[in-house]
Structure 1
Amino acid sequence: MGIHEELAAELRDALRARDRKRLDVIRQVETEVSRARTEPGFSGEAGDELYRRVIGAYCKKMEKARLEFAAAGERGRAQAEKLAFEIEYLARWLPSTLDEAATRELVRSAIAELGAGDPKMAGRVIGHVMKAAGGTVDGALVGRLVREELGAG
């Protein structure tokens, strides 16, 4: 069963249970997917890959907003908790990311493969790792590790 079908089943369950929190997050994801499908340059079907990309981008936005609400103290606590629920709920449809040790190995092998020794080649190494890993690594972590390995940071 694809992500679209799973979300449809979750939506039906949430409607039956009158679970407002789940309803809101599922409807928001479906809205984001519809928006992505109507963007210029989109072609193809709304398959699992599109859903993963949209859910990943949505979770990243919500995490940033959650941190801002959490920094607001008591005033933003309820909204921060709502966003934390959304992120946790959607996490099951995101691809798992590699830990720091595995990412460091990818970075080292990319540096060796490209023969990079100069910090000026950091962008090329980062691009190589991101392309090779195919969405299973955190871009910020890759950037930090590449700069560490090349001595640029």
Structure 2
Amino acid sequence: MSVVERLKDEQKTAMRAKDKARLGTIRLALAAIKQQEVDGQKTLTDDEVIAVLTKMVKQRRDSISQFEAAGRQDLADVEAAEVVVLQEFLPQPLTEEELGALVDKALADSGASSMQDMGKVMGLLKPQVQGRADMGAVSGLIKARLS
């Protein structure tokens, strides 16, 4: 079952359960996906849908840190609840060992030897880790291995 189909099924389930918070988050996700499809004039693949959901999670995490810095824990809690719902539709996150193995393999496959080769390595890794690892952490891991 595709990610969009899962979202639509969960939307129906949330409607039946009268779970307004979950329903609202799922509707936001479906609206963001639909907007991308309209903008690009094409139907999104599962990988592209995962990229949209990953972006939404990142935005909410940024909002959480800003709300907490401003002393608005009530708004931060709402954003945190949305993150939990969105993460249900993302693939299982990679463990440290799995991520390290993928980085080592990408370094070997690309023949990277210096920081100038970082773009090649990121290009190889991005499709494999999209939605499963924080790209900032991946970048830091690559930098550590190349230096």
User: Is the TM value for this pair above 0.5?
Assistant: yes
Which is bigger in relative contact order (C-alpha 8 A, separation at least 6)? 2
Q: Structure 2 CA distance, aligned partners of 1:33 and 1:148?
A: 35
Pick the aligned partner of 1:138 from 124, 134, 144. Answer: 134
State whether residues 97 and 138 of structure 1, in contact with CA within 8 Å, keep that contact through their aligned partners in structure 2: no
**Where does residue 36 of structure 1 map in the other structure?**
36
CA, structure 1 residues 116+47, in 2 after alignment: closer, same or farther (shift >3 Å)? closer
- Taking only aligned residues, the RMSD between alpha carbons, in angstroms, comes to 2.1
Rg (Cα) greater in structure = 1
1:77 and 2:47 correspond? no
Deviation at 1:47, TM superposition (A): 5.1
CA, structure 1 residues 3+102, in 2 after alignment: closer, same or farther (shift >3 Å)? closer
**Can you list the C-alpha shifts for 1:83-110, whole angstroms capped at 9, x where unaligned?**
1111101211101232222222222222
Residues paired across the two proteins, number: 146
> Which amino acid in 2 is paired with 1:147?
K
**Where does residue 5 of structure 2 map in the other structure?**
5
> Which amino acid in 2 is paired with 1:138?
D
TM-score scaled by structure 1?
Answer: 0.81
Q: Which runs of 5+ in 2 are unaligned?
A: none
**Can you list the C-alpha shifts for 1:48-82, whole angstroms capped at 9, x where unaligned?**
44432222211111111111112222xx1111101
CA, structure 1 residues 147+66, in 2 after alignment: closer, same or farther (shift >3 Å)? same
Superposed, which structure 2 residues align to 1:1-153 within 5 Å? 1-39=1-39, 41-43=40-42, 45-46=43-44, 48-73=46-71, 76-131=72-127, 133=128, 135=130, 136-151=132-147
> Which amino acid in 2 is paired with 1:52?
I
> Which amino acid in 1 is paired with 2:85?
Y
Q: Structure 1 CA distance, aligned partners of 2:59 and 2:139?
A: 19
